[in-house]
Amino acid sequence: MSALEAVQAVLAAEHAAVYGYGVVGARVGAARREEAAAGLAAHRALRDAAARAVRDLGGEPGVSAPAYALPFPVADADAAVRLAAVLEDRVAGAYADLVRAASGAARRDAAAALREAAVRAVRWRGGGVAFPGLAERP
């Protein structure tokens, strides 16, 4: 996977996260609505940064789909919390692959984004996984 492909994958994951956090915010309930809004803002900024990184590498940034299939029905606050954690898991995977494909400042930024995604995931879930972003090490 080239650096450009990895950044495009990050951008796609961030597009999906922005969409997903909209659903999370609508369903999560008053207690955690602020956290959902903060997550949405973070992923918008990360999405824009990823689009810039694609252009810097000479690529054309992928665009958001009009809608995304949710991994499971999100009808209540519990499901919204689970969705938020899954969204973070997915962006974590994309950033881990970008760490592998990139070097220098781009690699450091990807590692920082992976760390932040892992922390947001444990905030939502209340517990962590041993290897955030590494699907092959469940």
114 near another protein (CB under 8 A): yes
Is the distance from CB of 89 to CB of 119 less than 8 angstroms? no
Is the distance from CB of 100 to CB of 5 less than 8 angstroms? no
The site that binds another protein (CB under 8 A) totals a number of residues, namely: 31
Convert 24-50 into a string of H (helix), E (strand) and C (coil).
HHHHCCHHHHHHHHHHHHHHHHHHHHH
Question: x/- site string to another protein, residues 78 to 107, per CB under 8 A?
Answer: --------------x--xxx-xxx--x--x
4 near another protein (CB under 8 A): no
Closest CA to 83 of 17, 132, 34, 7: 17
| Binds another protein by CB under 8 A, chosen from 11, 81, 84, 121 | 121
CB of 67 to another protein, least distance (A): 29
**In this complex, which beta carbon is closest to another protein, that of residue 49 or of residue 129?**
129
Q: CA–CA separation, 50 vs 57, rounded Å? A: 11
Residues found near another protein in the complex (CB under 8 A): 92, 95-97, 99-101, 104, 107-108, 110-112, 114-115, 117-119, 121-123, 126-134, 137
